[in-house]
């Protein structure tokens, strides 16, 4: 999350624009007090920035523009952090997902009842958008939902439904590009679709001495994801683990892409998605396999 992705809409906007990457608070580096502000995007940064700026003593009006509806989930479930409510490891993923989807829809209701765009997918078929404040602020009128942008129009924006809003500032919470400007090798340059397939989200086939740690979007947590990955890296560097050949890596990558991505809608946002629990269990199996392979080679 370092290389902001900015959309290219026709027209020009005469007000202040920034990416959420540069947002600090309502006062610095830009003072939003008394301004008409629009936050564009449906991810977690968009929820956080919108909720903070929607306090009535700060902005004059706060608009939230989404081109695609999202399910806004709660941070807590049954009195505990929602990520602790994960389905047990023994349950088939598809069944666990169906149960979770039913529970989420029963608790939240329909997003369009809040005035938000209707999602074109089921809960958990997109990377979760999580906020305790956003829906309450939309429901109370502090945040004014808008749909997709059609074009920029001087001191305002025209939307796909033909409506127009005058604005002083736009905050683009539109995600990030995966990029490595320090690599000159084209094979190490992610595509425009943000795709960068890696063996166990760490190794590019043909580059056995280069490891990418933390380059994933795991659910429910990223906190100790790289720590788990480092166990395989350490084993490889000390000779206790042998990476498979390029063909075997390619086969494993295809299987993992199907496992982790097939139930998500196609988006640049989902190219590095993994399930943390499933990933760690698979990583331990791979380390055991590589260890046996190493002993056989010796």
One DSSP character per residue, 82-127 reads GGGGPPPTTS-HHHHHHHHHHHHHHHH--GGGGTPPPPSS-TTSSP
CA distance 162 to 140: 25
Number of residues assigned to the chain: 298
Residue ranges in 6-92 assigned as alpha helix (H)? 44-53
Q: What is the mean pLDDT of residues 194-219?
A: 96
Domain extents in the chain: 3-176, 185-297
Looking at residue 192, its pLDDT comes to: 86
Looking at residue 77, its pLDDT comes to: 83
Report the first-to-last Cα separation within the chain, whole angstroms.
41
Taking 90 as the threshold, does the pLDDT of residue 86 lie above it? no
**Is 277:89 a contact under the CB 8 Å cutoff?**
yes
The per-residue pLDDT of the chain, averaged, comes to 94
- Tell me the whole-structure pTM to 2 decimals: 0.92
Q: At what angle do helices 225-237 and 276-297 cross, to 10 degrees?
A: 0
CA distance 39 to 42: 9
pLDDT band at 295 (very low <50, low <70, confident <90, very high): low
Looking at residue 296, its pLDDT comes to: 56
**Is 260:217 a contact under the CB 8 Å cutoff?**
no
Residue 153 contacts by C-beta under 8 Å, 6 or more apart in sequence? Answer: 11, 13, 164
Q: At what angle do helices 276-297 and 246-261 cross, to 10 degrees?
A: 170
β pairing state of 16-19 and 3-4: unpaired
CA distance 90 to 101: 18
The vertex-218 CA angle with 187 and 186, nearest 5°, equals 5
* Span 249-277, pLDDT tens digits: 999 999 999 999 999 999 999 999 999 99
What percent of the chain has pLDDT above 70? 98
pLDDT band at 293 (very low <50, low <70, confident <90, very high): low
Residue 162 contacts by C-beta under 8 Å, 6 or more apart in sequence? Answer: none
CA distance 257 to 30: 41
Residue 66 contacts by C-beta under 8 Å, 6 or more apart in sequence? Answer: 40, 41, 42, 46, 116, 117, 145, 146, 147, 148
Among the four given CATH numbers 3.40.50.150, 3.40.50.1820, 3.50.50.60, 3.60.15.10, the one describing domain 3-176: 3.50.50.60
Exposed / middle / buried, residue 161 (Cβ in 10 Å: 0-12, 13-18, 19+): exposed
Q: What is the mean pLDDT of residues 198-212?
A: 97
C-alpha distances (whole Å) from 162 to each of 82, 159, 172 are 38, 5, 21
């Amino acid at each position: 999350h370092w290389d902001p992705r900015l959309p290219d809409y026709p027209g020009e906007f005469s007000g202040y624009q920034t990416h959420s990457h540069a947002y600090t608070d309502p006062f610095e580096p830009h003072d939003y007090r008394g301004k008409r502000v629009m936050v564009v995007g449906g991810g977690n940064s968009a929820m956080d920035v919108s909720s903070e700026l929607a306090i009535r003593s700060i902005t004059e009006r706060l608009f939230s523009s989404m081109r695609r509806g999202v399910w806004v989930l709660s941070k807590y479930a049954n009195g505990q952090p929602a990520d602790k409510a994960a389905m047990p490891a023994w349950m088939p993923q598809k069944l666990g997902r169906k149960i979770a989807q039913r529970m989420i829809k029963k608790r939240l209701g329909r997003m369009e009842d809040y005035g938000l765009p209707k999602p074109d997918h089921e809960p958990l078929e997109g990377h979760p958008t999580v906020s305790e404040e956003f829906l309450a602020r939309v429901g109370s009128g502090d945040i004014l939902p808008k749909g997709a942008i059609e074009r920029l129009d001087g001191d305002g924006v025209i939307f796909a439904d033909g409506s127009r809003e005058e604005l002083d500032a736009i905050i683009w919470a539109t995600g990030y590009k995966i990029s490595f400007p320090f690599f000159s090798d084209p094979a190490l340059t992610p595509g425009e679709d943000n795709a960068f397939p890696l063996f166990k989200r760490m190794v590019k086939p043909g580059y056995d001495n280069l490891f990418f740690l933390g380059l994933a979007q795991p659910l429910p947590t990223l906190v100790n994801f790289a720590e788990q990955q480092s166990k395989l890296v350490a084993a490889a560097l000390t000779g206790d683990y042998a990476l498979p050949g390029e063909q075997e890596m390619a086969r494993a990558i295809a299987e993992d892409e199907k496992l982790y991505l097939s139930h998500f809608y196609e988006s640049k946002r989902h190219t590095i998605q993994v399930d943390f629990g499933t990933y760690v269990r698979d990583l331990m199996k791979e380390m055991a396999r590589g260890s046996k392979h190493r002993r056989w080679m010796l």
